[in-house]
A and B are shown apart, each in its own frame.
Chain A
Amino acid sequence: MARYGMLINTKKCIGCYTCLVACHRQNNLLPTENFIRFEERETGTYPNVGVENIPLQCMHCEDAPCAAVCPTGATYIGPGGVVAVEEGRCIGCKYCMAACPYQVRVVNESTGTVDKCRFCTVTATDGTKTCSCVEACLTGARTFGDLDDPESDVSKAIVELNAKPIAGDLTKAKIFYVR
């Protein structure tokens, strides 16, 4: 079985929110249901400045703290290592939101379920070639694939670009960043 992961190259990110709105539209989410969250960092002082845009989303941790604290098993690690949510089992206690160090769990205001990025590729059906955010990214900042396959684009890019999880070994995250 595959072990899915993603690379995000912040050097290519222009902070345009396209991934976020594509995620909304293609996955039919509510406007407030943001699976992707942006942080913006300025560096330097005027006029020698830089800016870094960092999109954050579920890191699909192998040791997912949100799954560990879920009292009903609604959050679980499914096939391919995708951290998933079973809507019917979620009681909306928000323990997962408190436990997630990346602050990327989000309440679906219509169902009360605390949802998250689903690595939608894995369940894609209609016309989507890869995750909506990956497909939509204007600058190719995102790469998705099987981390266990050394020949996958994502595995090769992680090695080539020396990509690292956003917060070191805080969790066993499966999204790797180039910064």
Chain B
Amino acid sequence: MSEKAITRRSFLAGSAGVATLVAGGFVGFGSWKQAKAAEKTEQPVLATAHSMCNACSSKCGFTAYTIDGKLRKLIGDAENPMCKGKLCARGYGYSQIAYSKDRLTDPLRKNERGEFEAVSWDQAYSEIAEKVASIIGSDGPQAIAAVQDPRPSGKYYTTRFVNALGSANVYTHAAACDLSRASGFLQTIGASTYSSDIVNSKMTMFIGRNYADAIRPSSVAQLQQAHESGARIVIVDPRCNNTIAFADEWVPINPGTDLALILSMAHVLVAKGLYDQEYVKANGVGFDDWAAKLVSYTPTWAERITGISAGIIERLALEFAEAAPAASIEQGWRAAIGSAYRNSGETARAVCLFNTLLGCWNQKGGALFTSTVNSGALDEGRFPKVPKPAVPLLGLDDYPLANPATGSVLQAAKLAKDGAIKGMFFYQSNMAAGYANPAYLAEALGSLDLMVVIDVQMSETAMLADYVLPDTSYLERTEIPEFIDGMVPAVALRDQVIDKVLPNTRPVDQIYGELAEACGVGEYFPFTVEELADAQLRTVGLSLESLREVGTSFFADKAYAYGAVPIWNTPTGKIQFTSDACVKAGLTATPEWLAPSVMPGSDDFRLIGGKQPIHSHTQTTNIEDLMQITKDYDLTRVWMNADRAAQMGISDGDTVQISSSVHSGTVRVKVTERLNPTALWIPSHYGCSSPEQHTAYGVGLRQMDFVPFHIEPAYGSAMTEEVIVTVKKVGA
């Protein structure tokens, strides 16, 4: 690289920002492409462009610095609300996916021997279209389904394609993520999410939510700011996770019993009259029924279940009362409330009701429904409307509380096994390794007549497919804009920042458009992704070009204001202390104590999982930079409580055999004081079984292998931590 081409600068030259630098030596990616086309130049061309990360679903905005169309470095965009100028280890590391030697290079078709062979795009499309036509002909369009882990273009194009075929069956990963949370919230407050105003809170409690390991940089910053300005931060988690750096207290709860803690804290508030009675009366329905049930949930009762002393439970409740309304239980995500236990959905309901007792909704420091901006209606001439499918999303009859926006993908797997769904498309979804028991899922998806996977690498899900279509990486394509909720709502763009690395890969928008054409529904895709992005942005007063310039743009006129009484979008128009839908689904009217489906005894453990800050599910383990850290720090180890380990004669670093009812495997142990004694903790990223992922293959154990296939009643989630394991020292 010639250093002449860039403005050399030193630390002492001052704090000239990126903008100055761009003026000094870098050009926009578009200009670089033009320059490259116009002349053959010896000088390396340096360019910058804004885009959004794809290492997790936070989608942080960054500026990419490139040299001759290749990525040089990334710097988080200070304006982006997700990253606030910072990227995490995953974000830096995952950028290397573009240049991974394990990228999928060509469309693949599985032959009769079960081996993949490269085929042309046209051949793949025409064969897929033939099978789609055959399935629709025999079973109707409702036998077609798709699964996508939501990303801007992926979500739009997957949904449009499947809807165009006449099917409503578009699922997400939610059943192994936040389905119970979203669904329980919907039953209670009529919204699937809320945001805790941590920075302005006097007290915020996190239940099974871990900002320091499941990182969104702006959330880490908010937590740190709250902690440093004196907010009381309480971490309820069987594991003392790394968020403890910015917390005041760790509440080491027995896993699966968070519901008992919340019910008991509610008991204290109601018994002592320390709740916002006026607020409850004005906004709630069915409070008296819940209050009657709460009578028996004393702290002494909860102590036996949660392992947390009655004194601590009572103190936490009193601290909440003191801090209200500038206090809340944070919404949580995957663990505890999201999809872990038989009682996750009911725990989510209880969380909302507890926050209601605090009167904290839309109060400064409380729990907020922040502002949203979305694309307006588009010209139907250019962007034709897809007719609404005749048959609604499959699975909601069996799991009636499941959030209809995501459905229960596990029920879809069952329907595939039973033959009701015959053709499935997957976009950026590694369902087979991450959503539930892999052996069950392999059998269920193996029953399909047609399975198509669009991805960048040979995931375990791709291994099961009949056709694998190679996507471009996120750095190589422009997507439709991402609208971001917040105190000031925003929109950001994933844009192409590097040259296409592999010539025969295609971006997701193009793949679905061409698939649609082959399937005879191409009339719904007569536009490019740039045209769609630009049209969406013009409905909110922007354009593709204007957003490209800045990366992230804000809607200051739509800024959130404290104090507004939310519109409770429930059947009663109130906060539902009782829910008819829950009764209809076989649950109790108000959230009552519901024990987990399994409980460990004194000789075994509940296997619980969680994230490490260097990986996103199974998506990043094949990245060399990140997997090297796993190896250097022996991060595949399971965590075991020190007392339990001592009783079993297990020392730090020993190898143990872990066995559940469905799987067994060996791994080293990290002996720690940072774990509840009833739990064994396993990182959720490892155990890759795809030999084509040369870095990740065979490293560590896979959490989901140990979990039997089962579905949370009414809510449809994976119950990922309803599993008991025994542990045996190897060689003992």
Contacts and interface: CB of A to CB of B under 8 A. Distances in A.
B632 A46 contact: no
Interface stretch (B154-162, B316-324, B549-557, B672-680): B672-680
A22 interface: yes
B222 to A, nearest CB: 11
27 contacts: A12-B224, A14-B243, A16-B613, A24-B92, A25-B625, A26-B92, A31-B624, A31-B625, A34-B628, A38-B633, A42-B672, A42-B674, A46-B252, A46-B643, A46-B673, A46-B675, A50-B244, A51-B244, A122-B11, A124-B9, A124-B11, A126-B65, A127-B21, A138-B86, A138-B215, A139-B220, A140-B224
Given A31-B628, A42-B672, A139-B220, A18 B88 contact: yes
A12 B90 CA distance: 19
A136 B3 CA distance: 24
Interface string B77-105: 00000000011111011011000000000
A32 B628 contact: yes
Contacts of A44: 673
Interface residues on A, range: 35 or more
A32 B630 CA distance: 11
Interface in A20-60: 20-22, 24-26, 28, 31-32, 34, 38, 42, 44-47, 49-51, 53
Given A18-B87, A45-B673, A47-B250, A127 B65 contact: yes
Contacts of B540: none
B210 to A, nearest CB: 10
A16 B633 CA distance: 12
A113 B627 CA distance: 23
Given A122-B10, A126-B65, A138-B220, A21 B240 contact: no
B21 A126 contact: yes
Which residue among A24, A44, A51, A125 has the maximum number of chain B CB atoms within 10 Å of its CB? A125
A32 B627 CA distance: 10
Interface stretch (B12-20, B377-385, B460-468, B707-715): B12-20
A126 B628 contact: no
Contacts of A81: none
Contacts of A16: 88-89, 212-213, 215, 242, 613-614
Given A12-B224, A17-B613, A46 B86 contact: no
Contacts of B88: 16, 18, 138
Contact of B245 (A11, A121, A140): A11
Contacts of A129: 15, 17
A17 B89 contact: yes
A13 interface: yes
Which 3 A/B pairs are nearest by Cβ-Cβ distance?
A16-B613, A14-B212, A21-B89
Nearest to B243: A14
Nearest to A144: B11
A136 B246 CA distance: 19
Interface residues of B, number: 64
A125 B75 CA distance: 13
Contacts of A144: 11
Contacts of A65: none
A80 to B, nearest CB: 9
Contacts of B472: none
Contacts of B8: 125
A123 B9 CA distance: 8
Contacts of B212: 14-16
A130 interface: yes
Nearest to B18: A127
Contacts of B26: 126-127
Interface in B241-276: 242-246, 250, 252
A25 B246 CA distance: 28
Nearest to B67: A126
B224 A51 contact: no
A11 B63 CA distance: 30
Contact of A12 (B72, B245, B642): B245
Contact of B613 (A11, A15, A140): A15
A13 B628 CA distance: 20
B242 A138 contact: no
B221 interface: yes
Which residue among A26, A124, A127 has the maximum number of chain B CB atoms within 10 Å of its CB? A127
Interface in B201-244: 212-213, 215, 217, 220-221, 224, 240, 242-244
A126 B18 CA distance: 9
Nearest to B72: A126
A52 to B, nearest CB: 9
A167 interface: no
A98 interface: no
Contacts of A122: 10-11
A161 interface: no
A60 to B, nearest CB: 14
Given A16-B212, A42-B673, A127 B220 contact: no
A17 B245 contact: no
A6 to B, nearest CB: 12
